[in-house]
Amino acid sequence: ILDSSTNIITFATAGHPFPYLRRNGQIQEIGYGSLPLGARLNREYCETTLQLQTGDQLFLLTDGFFEVRNAQRELFGFERLMMAIDQSDLTDPQRALDHLLSALSQFRGNTEQSDDMTGIILQVLA
């Protein structure tokens, strides 16, 4: 849930990868890990509430981003994903997403994409 009047976001991962927050040039994973939604009956999910600040970028990415494989069956992985985020545009979420997709495509080469990828980048403007 994003309250755009206060820039407060509340979320639960429900089996998805942690979001990445880029703030003041630093990138960190935020949130709590959890099982996929519906994996267990009566499962409670921990919510994370975050006050977003001017200049923040929040990367909400599905597992298809780090599970990309190249011809050698090597995973793109979390470390490469963090580096790609670090090298992406600080001020324009579309260019940042384009950079991530380009980095993944270069890594994958001619190997067929095997998983879906959904990405949203929230940018907090002044």
pLDDT digits (tens, 9 = 90+) for 39-58: 777 778 788 999 999 999 99
Closest CA to 104 of 91, 117, 123, 121: 117
Tell me the per-residue pLDDT of 4-37, one tens digit each, with 9 for 90 and over: 999 999 988 877 788 999 999 899 999 867 767 7
Tell me the per-residue pLDDT of 69-85, one tens digit each, with 9 for 90 and over: 999 999 999 999 999 99
SS3 content of the chain, % helix, strand, coil (to 5): 25, 25, 50
Q: In the prediction, which pLDDT does 35 show?
A: 67
Spatial neighbors of 90 by CB under 8 A, at least 6 apart, are 22, 25, 55, 57, 96
The distance of Cα 117 from the centroid of its chain, to the nearest Å, equals 10
Q: How many domains does the chain fold into?
A: 1
* CATH number of residue 119's parent domain: 3.60.40.10
Q: In the prediction, which pLDDT does 47 show?
A: 87
Let me know: does 125 contact 91? Beta carbons within 8 Å: no
Domain range for 19 is: 2-123
